[in-house]
Structures are given as structure tokens and as C-alpha cells.
């Protein structure tokens, strides 16, 4: 039995599938996710697979790479949406379905519900109130997995720029994460803080003065997101 570190994000789940195809006894050693774009399997890593399977994997990575993750086939979008929101088991099921080219009506219905949730969170992250100060986004109430897609969508819709982002964590590292994204929207996690830390005081110390984000409710008024 072999084992290696696998990230808890979309690229990590894809890597896990490739490892399982090569060795059915492979066991992952899970680590916290990051920006999926920084760990996408290279084309050379797919050369031993059949041409149809390579094609489906490449189509999936196009959705992971896209500035608009809501475009493309619903199954691929559902995989990205589920992986980004921490639904690892369902994401793995959609990945299997996508690579096999077969899925159930139940999978499709649930995937579309997950995509709607992902879309809602994505729009929430694009609100102007999310900008805590120039170049700083406060996404502290959103899970870490969705952050790279919010930043790239924001850069696509507006002027590209570097961002420092404060986000929530993931299942392995709950709490608050601090990210840095370059102008191309490629991100890295530069700090992870525990759930017990005082978010406002912690980032006051480094010159980032946050207010909890205020988002639009159904009546058009703004209210705290948490």
C-alpha cells in the first residue's frame, strides 16, 4: 500500500483519483487545501491513460482553471462546486461519474442544488462591501475552498489586481486563513489561524482593519454577514 499527501481541494481530489487508477490500495494522507490551480496534474502525468479518459480530465481541468467556474458541463461544475464547499464524498462521486460518462438522475439533481449554493456564495463574495480596504477582501464568513474562484471572478469582471484575502478555513484547518493572490489570480495561503483567535484584533496588529462584511438581504438593506 502506498500513501502520499493529498490536498483537500479540487486538484487534490483529481490527484487522488489518478493515484487510485494506478494503485487501488493507495491511501491519501490528507492536508489542508489551497488554490487548486497550483496543483493541477500536468499533461505528462496523464500520458499512461486512454485518450478518451485524458480528454475528460482535460475538460474537467478547464472548469477548474476557468475565471467563470459556472460555465461548462453541469457534472464538471458540480464537482468543482462540491469540492470547493467541502462536500468531499459527493465531489468524488461526481468525479467518478464524469470520468465514466454516466450519472444518475439523483446525482444530477443534487449537483444542480450544490451549483446553486456555490453560485450564491460566489455572488456574495463579489459584493462591494467585501472590500475591507484597498487590495483587501474580507471573506471571513466563507469557506476557504471558494475563495480562489471569487478572486478570479472579481479580477475577470473588474480591473486585475493583487489581493490579500481573509477567509474561513476548511475541514482540516477550521478558523481563519490569510491569502495572497497575484494579478493573475493565483493564490497561496500565507497564514492559518485557529477558530479561537479574535479575527479583528489579530489583523489589526498587521495593519488590516476589518469590519465584518455587510451583505444585501432580500429587502435591499445591508446587514452583517455573520
pLDDT digits (tens, 9 = 90+) for 104-148: 999 999 999 999 999 999 999 999 999 988 999 999 999 999 999
Burial 32-54 (b: 16+ CB within 10 A, else e): bbbbbbebbeeeeebeebeeeee
Locus of grid cell 496523464: 46
Q: Which own/partner pairs from 22-27 qualify as long-range (CB within 8 Å, at least 24 positions apart)? A: 22/48, 25/1, 26/1, 26/2, 27/1, 27/2, 27/3
pLDDT-derived band at 159, boundaries 50, 70, 90: confident
Higher-pLDDT residue of 220, 168? 168
pLDDT, residue 67, reads 86
Query: How far is Cα 166 from Cα 137, in angstroms, rounded to an integer?
Result: 6
Query: How far is Cα 76 from Cα 52, in angstroms, rounded to an integer?
Result: 16
pLDDT digits (tens, 9 = 90+) for 12-29: 999 999 999 999 999 999
pLDDT, residue 179, reads 96
pLDDT digits (tens, 9 = 90+) for 178-224: 999 999 999 999 999 888 777 766 666 656 666 655 555 655 554 55
Q: Are strands 187-193 and 176-181 parallel, antiparallel or unpaired?
A: antiparallel
Domain boundaries, the chain: 3-120, 123-224
pTM given for the model: 0.87
Query: How far is Cα 47 from Cα 100, in angstroms, rounded to an integer?
Result: 18
pLDDT digits (tens, 9 = 90+) for 76-93: 999 999 999 999 999 999
**Count of other CB atoms within 10 angstroms of residue 2:** 9
Query: How far is Cα 165 from Cα 124, in angstroms, rounded to an integer?
Result: 15
Amino acid at each position: 500500500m502506498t500513501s502520499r499527501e493529498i490536498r483537500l481541494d479540487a486538484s487534490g481530489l483529481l490527484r487522488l483519483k489518478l493515484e487510485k487508477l494506478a494503485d487501488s490500495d493507495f491511501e491519501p494522507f490528507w492536508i489542508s487545501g489551497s488554490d487548486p490551480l497550483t496543483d493541477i496534474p500536468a499533461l505528462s502525468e496523464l500520458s499512461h491513460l486512454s485518450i478518451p479518459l485524458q480528454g475528460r480530465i482535460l475538460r474537467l481541468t478547464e472548469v477548474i482553471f476557468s475565471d467563470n467556474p459556472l460555465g461548462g458541463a453541469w457534472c464538471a461544475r458540480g464537482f468543482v462546486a462540491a469540492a470547493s464547499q467541502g462536500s468531499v464524498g459527493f465531489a468524488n462521486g461526481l468525479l467518478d461519474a464524469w470520468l465514466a460518462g454516466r450519472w444518475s438522475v439523483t446525482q444530477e439533481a443534487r449537483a444542480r442544488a450544490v451549483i446553486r449554493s456555490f453560485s450564491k456564495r460566489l455572488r456574495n463574495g463579489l459584493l462591494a462591501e467585501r472590500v475591507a480596504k484597498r487590495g483587501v477582501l474580507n471573506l471571513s464568513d466563507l469557506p476557504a475552498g471558494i475563495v480562489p474562484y471569487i478572486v478570479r471572478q472579481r479580477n475577470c469582471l473588474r480591473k486585475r489586481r493583487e489581493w490579500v484575502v481573509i477567509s474561513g478555513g476548511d475541514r482540516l484547518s477550521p478558523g481563519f486563513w490569510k491569502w495572497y493572490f497575484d494579478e493573475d489570480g493565483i493564490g497561496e495561503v500565507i497564514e492559518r489561524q485557529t477558530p479561537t483567535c479574535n479575527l479583528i484584533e489579530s489583523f489589526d496588529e498587521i495593519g488590516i482593519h476589518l469590519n465584518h462584511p455587510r451583505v444585501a438581504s432580500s429587502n435591499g438593506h445591508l446587514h452583517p454577514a455573520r
